[in-house]
Structure 1
């Protein structure tokens, strides 16, 4: 199969993502204001409380079985390695760039956490439908791609909210402590004003509300993922809910109907959030380029060594689509949920928008080229 055919198969799905993302940016323009900042914040809550959990649980229930869970055991390890290597490279970038304290967690998080869910759910099925696809029968490829994308989405979400959220929390906490120390020194020299007391009280109340919200969010997502795994892997539950003859199939169909809204909504929100990056921020251009280099140069190169090594050692079956997914997990842009985390803490939002603007702007080139190369490797 020639380079042009492979490049066409790889670039068309990326082009679809760009078109929907551009539509989101258009809707977020001040002159249009259909997807303004307040609207995006509300839609974000709906996506992550309702659409995303429904998407993950319904896809896991319908695609994950005990048999393919055993055969895909390396995927959680592979995703963990993307986080470990990305974090290590992010730490090195901190030592070089020396950014402000409150965005250190953002920099490491964007280096570590890739978009392991929504991009795969868009790109993989679209690649299977392309005539030049090297992955065989389109129907079989489509079914397997949904399985791989669903598991990648679930595992990536667990790592993201378990690791990146707490990483950002620690760095933001240190930044707040340094501010508090400076304020305490000032209060020691000047009388304590009622306004400063009110500000401290509001800050503590915001942190408490944030912890409560994240506890509910994490618990809900965790429970729904476990439910999805249980339905998929426990045969009696699967027969009860999955399939055209299942007596309770209406529950699964309803969850799928709600979950299907997650992908277009998240992609539109990406476009709206990217628009903020055009307004600039305090983050330096070399730091942004460093993050882009980590995600689009160093991580994919490390991924090739790791995945090809796993295939050589027979840790991974030589299924071309599965190997392609493992490779692609090292080459995706930063996770958009990182922006949601920064939004929840109320810090680094403009810096995150600039990072995402550059990362997703260059993703059209990077993803197309790496996808083409990965297809050539596995074909």
Structure 2
């Protein structure tokens, strides 16, 4: 009789345990689905607006044709983007918030450095044509840290399954994080990536223009190297002469490199606007003068916000129009395209997880889930669209850039949704 009771109790306990396991697994599946829904909806909004831009750029429609895109792009570059950066920074960034978010500029810099290092390794492995090296390393180094964040982060906060708490508080902080990310990204893009691409483009142009004209200079340079590295018994120059030759060679190489650096690009309109926004937001008297419902000059801030709000939809439409050019194809190989996608959507996010987790472990970053999510997402975004603007300025690789943007932004709908879901799971 006891054994029968024990068997009945055992069977009931086992059935309860199975019910608990099934309930937990169902909850985990539902939680994953909710996170995936919250992560994918903002990406779908970007896709819809981008598709509209591609439709308007069709030859049969021709509302957003090539000439129109260039003119609108100039307005965005000189007016909309600076207004957006300065107004958002001035209204959301304060001295205290800058102190609490000090790691974000470091994190963004690491995305650029690691991306350019991976791009350099890609150049060594793939050995692309010289005129494409600047484009490849630029797309690997610079991510879309501005407009995409201003679309994705506020939209994530409004989703019911968002793990970031109250939607209003989340929205306010998301705008601050996106604004700082956009400003810092603009500074690094035009100060670092622009000059990096400029060096490779300059080397490409020099190699084409000076192959024949610089034969004598090359011979002289090789003779200098011979005098430098030959044993003393075979060289008539003494040690002092060798040292002078080496210094002259180093000076010549540094001069060639410095001629490709353009420090004026650091002061692009968006960079200047970021500096203005930082000053207004962090200097209390100026903030009281311009920011707030009772500020005497609040109309200036309101006007800048009104102009800046147009930047996000217009830039997204231009992205769609530019992607249409990629459908026509170019000379870039499939293997190079696959490697660029691997760098941006596989290796960079994995590096980002290690860096952010290490920063949390060392106490550099707090436990705010939204802030940690933004830091992780900065490693997983597609290439910056301003890379296309940079290539247009140099007049090389424009069609290849369109193809790269087409595939990277086309796959971003899958990659961003998956990585966003995983990052939400990590921080929740």
TM-score, normalised via structure 1 length: 0.91
CA displacement, residues 164-191 of structure 1 (integer Å, 9 cap, x when unaligned):
11111111111111221247489xxxxx
The answer to whether the 8 A contact 1:120-1:149 is kept is: yes
Q: What is the RMSD computed on CA atoms of the aligned residues?
A: 1.7
Residue 236 of structure 1 aligns with which residue?
Answer: 285
Residue 344 of structure 1 aligns with which residue?
Answer: 393
Residue 250 of structure 1 aligns with which residue?
Answer: 299
1:181-192 alignment runs, 5 A limit: 181-182=210-211, 184=213
- 5+ residue gaps, structure 1, are 187-210
Point out which structure has higher relative CO (alpha carbons under 8 A, 6+ apart): 1
Distance in 1 (CA, whole Å) between partners of 2:406 and 2:144 is: 14
Distance in 2 (CA, whole Å) between partners of 1:223 and 1:272 is: 28
Shift of 1:222: 3.1
- Paired positions, count: 355
Choose which of 192, 196, 199 in structure 2 pairs with 1:167: 196
* Structure 2 residue 424 is the aligned partner of structure 1 residue 375: yes
Distance in 1 (CA, whole Å) between partners of 2:98 and 2:333 is: 43
Shift of 1:223: 2.8
* Structure 2 residue 370 is the aligned partner of structure 1 residue 321: yes
Shift of 1:215: 3.9
Choose which of 327, 343, 351 in structure 2 pairs with 1:294: 343
Shift of 1:218: 2.6
Residue 208 of structure 1 aligns with which residue?
Answer: none
* Structure 2 residue 313 is the aligned partner of structure 1 residue 264: yes
1:132-151 alignment runs, 5 A limit: 132-151=161-180
Residue 333 of structure 1 aligns with which residue?
Answer: 382
Distance in 2 (CA, whole Å) between partners of 1:49 and 1:221 is: 8
Distance in 2 (CA, whole Å) between partners of 1:348 and 1:102 is: 7
The answer to whether the 8 A contact 1:105-1:164 is kept is: no
Distance in 2 (CA, whole Å) between partners of 1:217 and 1:21 is: 29
Distance in 2 (CA, whole Å) between partners of 1:343 and 1:216 is: 14
Residue 201 of structure 1 aligns with which residue?
Answer: none
CA displacement, residues 87-106 of structure 1 (integer Å, 9 cap, x when unaligned):
11111111111111111011
Structure having the higher Rg:
2
* Structure 2 residue 208 is the aligned partner of structure 1 residue 179: yes
TM-score, normalised via structure 2 length: 0.81
The answer to whether the 8 A contact 2:194-2:265 is kept is: no
Distance in 1 (CA, whole Å) between partners of 2:140 and 2:406 is: 15
Shift of 1:219: 4.7
CA displacement, residues 296-327 of structure 1 (integer Å, 9 cap, x when unaligned):
00000110011011111110011000000000
The answer to whether the 8 A contact 2:319-2:385 is kept is: yes
Distance in 2 (CA, whole Å) between partners of 1:221 and 1:373 is: 32
Distance in 2 (CA, whole Å) between partners of 1:16 and 1:338 is: 23
The answer to whether the 8 A contact 1:49-1:217 is kept is: no
What SS does structure 2 have at the residue aligned with 1:316?
Answer: coil
